[in-house]
Amino acid sequence: MIRIILVLAYLLLAPFLGALLDGLDRIISARMQRRRGPSLFQPFYDLGKLFSKELITVNNVQLLLNMSYLVILMIAGAMLFAGADLLMVLFILSTADMFLIMAASSDSSPYANMGASREMLQMMAYEPLTLLVAVGFYLTTGSFHVGDIINAPVSAVVFMPGLLVGFMFTAAIKFRKSPFDLSTSHHAHQEMVKGLTTEMSGMTLAIMNIAEYYEKILLFGIFCLFFVNSTWWSWVAAIVVCGVIFFMETLWDNVSARVKWKTLLYSCWVVTLVAGGVNILILMLDK
């Protein structure tokens, strides 16, 4: 019964929570830049404006692919909050990204295709660490199932500090934060305009934004797995730590300039080998 409630809560509330986090992110960023910034509810106003526009798509398949991106992310998040297999959740998350890449590649815009190519490059950068995180949870708790992970007597972060640091590093890519916002950009005056979303507008772009709100809550759900255990207070600690991680990602976004693709690839693989690989090696030696 609790799992059903959690799944329904994710499906119904995740886009609202994701939009609020987006609004809070904009406010914090503005304060860091000594600006007033927009309203907390600005993402909702933006979505309302996008849905009110006339539906114009560059082709018939782009909207379908974006809808597939949204639906698959909803499935992945529902599985996570239902206590299902974490490895399967991560595989489905990667599948969702492929639909976004296909949506961006479905038109002839050179900027959108550049964004799609960079998105695939980003996947090459963060996927190894993501899989190592799943392996780390298995070595720590003896199971890939989320239900077993959250019922462990000790929080996984005690045995996986390196993997947590690595996941925070790669999460900046998923959150589309500097210095790793290669496939798209916050502003339309950069060398590839808006990259992935250059040819998306109206309902198509709104669906893509809602999907990213679902993905944001899903990623914070994975962060919570590092800290949650069989005690009730660990849930409070997990939420607090997620708030700290959210602030750190926003801070990193505001103090970093975008790097080149080679720097992204090499830095992610170095972090994967050092933080993730060493942590996995220690866990295997302890068995």
d(CA 64, CA 194): 20
C-alpha 101: how far from its chain's center? 15
* Nearest-10 Cα torsion for 222, 98, 41, 185: 110
Element (H, E) at 24: helix 2-32
Domain hosting residue 236, numbered range: 2-286
Note the pLDDT of residue 200: 82
Is residue 123 exposed (0-12), middle (13-18) or buried (19+ Cβ within 10 Å)?
A: middle
Q: Which residues of the chain have pLDDT under 50?
A: none
In this predicted model, what pLDDT tens digit does every residue of 163-202 receive, in sequence order? 999 999 999 999 988 888 887 876 655 666 677 887 788 8
Give residue 241's pLDDT. Answer: 95
Question: How high is the pLDDT of residue 22?
Answer: 94
> Any idea what DSSP says for residue 273?
I
Two tokens, residue 141: 């708790």
Q: Rounded to whole angstroms, how far apart are CA atoms 128 and 152?
A: 25
Residue-level pLDDT at 189: 58
pLDDT at res. 188: 56
Q: Residue 39 and residue 25: Cα distance in Å, rounded?
A: 11
State pLDDT tens for residues 122-150.
Answer: 998 899 999 999 999 999 998 999 999 99
User: What average pLDDT does the structure give for the chain?
Assistant: 89
Count how many domains the chain has: 1
Closest CA relative to residue 14, chosen from 168, 212, 225: 212
Q: What pTM does this model have?
A: 0.93
Any bridge partners for residue 193, and if so which? 190
CB 264 within 8 A of CB 122: yes
